[in-house]
Structure 1
């Protein structure tokens, strides 16, 4: 009877400990969900403030709207300069102006006057600048940027690597995503990156589309 009593006490203690562990695990999960909901709530509040600011700018008349547009253009101009430098862009004036239609003027030159590597770097800088500015404003309608990588003879690998590194940092800080396809340039995936490789045979190189379990017709 003594042994039975000890066994019963041990079972009771184990059962109580198990229930305590399960209860604590449940509380931990609940706290995790609460923390996640808090972050989501803060993001929604920030977005709400942004929308209220947009509404106020329209209600405030033309002057208020003009000020906001001026501030955006000025911020866009500064970001373009930053990205031109990231891409080591030569022969492009940093005396940048953004006109009423958001066309960008580089000194006295328009984008259409550039060619080759200079054009490519400038286009990448424009898109990256607008994307960074857009997501940093808390706009959640677009959270990703998709583009093709340049051919290796169009832009140096080290410059494109610097471009991707800067984009990754921005995405990490602002909950965004970059998607790009490449043939000649190879990006070394790091933690948090995903690489999708083509799995179907092609005439010149592997392809993403093909016939599953069969061969191409002759």
Structure 2
């Protein structure tokens, strides 16, 4: 039977950015884990279509290579697909043997597809038989801060995921916003003014370089720069 679009939309609605992440309690390659285990922490829920998939394999290796950078940001990783635990264990063992890379983060076996349904991760491309290549960035309050969805044929850019996390943490800390292609050494932007007085005041503020009343940039504060100093050294 065809996977009808209306049925797919009803069962596969992703949580929006700013919403609470749906609760989960699941079996993983590191035992039982739940959303409550990550309260007070940032983490990435990293879904992949299937085990032993070459694209997913490359992503898991790249994620593990980036683990030190994620730790610097106090961000954890949780993988998930609808494969069973036996498949997960065999795949992770194969990755270690083939690529000399031990995957240190847990991988959820969502065999009954409950979590995948709650997070809207079931792929229309596979008629709902696999999870999408999607990422949820979830903060310490269990709020969804970013959703990034890729087609099954394209591997995800781990550096871009790191950039988004750094931008989210910078905007939280500074109450400013980041421009296109922002990196940690770049200037940040004042948010859009809400009243005329704010627009005039920022034009006269020596901390800002304003091209116009609606476009004012400044250096990130010293605290934010110190947090990301390790990343600046890598450039």
- TM-score scaled by length of structure 2: 0.21
Tell me which structure has the larger Cα radius of gyration: 1
Bigger relative contact order, structure 1 or 2 (CA pairs below 8 A, ≥6 apart): 2
Q: Counting strand residues as a fraction of each chain, which structure ranks higher?
A: 2
Question: Where is the helix percentage greater, Structure 1 or Structure 2?
Answer: 1
TM-score, with normalisation over the residues of structure 1?
A: 0.22
